[in-house]
Amino acid sequence: MAWTTPKTDWETGALIAASDMNEVGENLATLKNPATAVYTTTEEITVLHAPEFTDVDGDNLNLSITTAGGDVLVHLHGTGRRRSGDTDCDFDIDVDGNRQGGDKGILSTRLYSYYHDLSFTHLIQNLSAGNHTFKLQYKTQRDGIRLLGGAQFWVREI
C-alpha cells in the first residue's frame, strides 16, 4: 500500500472523513509489512570469466519489490571460492537496469585463498514508488569464481 504523509494539523471541530481513516489504516499496513524479497542459494554457483558485469544468477538472484517510495537496503552474504589462482572479483547491484557502483562495482575483492567472505549491505536512497528489480552482478578478470551454497541476497524497503 502507498504511504501518505500523515495529517498532523487537526483542529478542534474538524470532521474526520472516511478517507482520513483509510489513510491511517494504509499507513499502518505499510509500516508493518515493508516490501521484502529474499533468495538463499541452495547449491554452489560457478560463474565464469566475465570482463563486463554479468548476472550471477539471472533466474534467482534477481529480486523484485514494489515500494511506497523511499529507501531500500540491499544485502549479500556468502562465501566465495576461487577456481584457480588469485582472482580479482567485483560485485555490483543492477537496479532497474542501472548499476550502483563504479568500474569495480560496490564490492571489489581478491580471492587469494580458497574461501573468502563476501558481504555488503548497500543503502539505496530515494527510490521512486513502484516496482523495482535488483540483480546481483559480477565480473572477473580470470577464469571465474564459485559462490558456495547458503549465500543470501535480500532487498527490503526501510
> CA–CA separation, 80 vs 92, rounded Å?
15
CB of 107 to another protein, least distance (A): 12
Under the criterion CB under 8 A, does residue 14 sit at the interface with another protein? Answer: no
Among 5, 9, 11, 17, binds another protein (CB under 8 A): 17
Nearer to another protein, 112 or 130 (CB): 112
> Quick check: 75 binds another protein (CB under 8 A)?
yes
According to the binding rule CB under 8 A, does residue 146 interact with another protein?
no
Pairing of strands 87-95, 130-140: antiparallel
CB 66 within 8 A of CB 95: no
Q: Does 58 bind another protein (CB under 8 A)?
A: no
Distance CA 57, CA 48 (A): 12
109 Cβ contact list (under 8 Å, min separation 6): 80, 88, 89, 90, 91, 116, 118
The residue from 46, 64, 66, 113 that contacts another protein (CB under 8 A) is 113
Q: Which residue has the cell 580458497?
A: 114
Q: Is 8 near another protein (CB under 8 A)?
A: no
User: CB of 27 within 8 A of CB of 4?
Assistant: yes
List contacts with another protein (CB under 8 A). 1, 16-19, 21-22, 24-26, 28-29, 31-32, 36, 38, 75, 77-79, 112-117, 119, 121, 148-150, 152, 154, 156
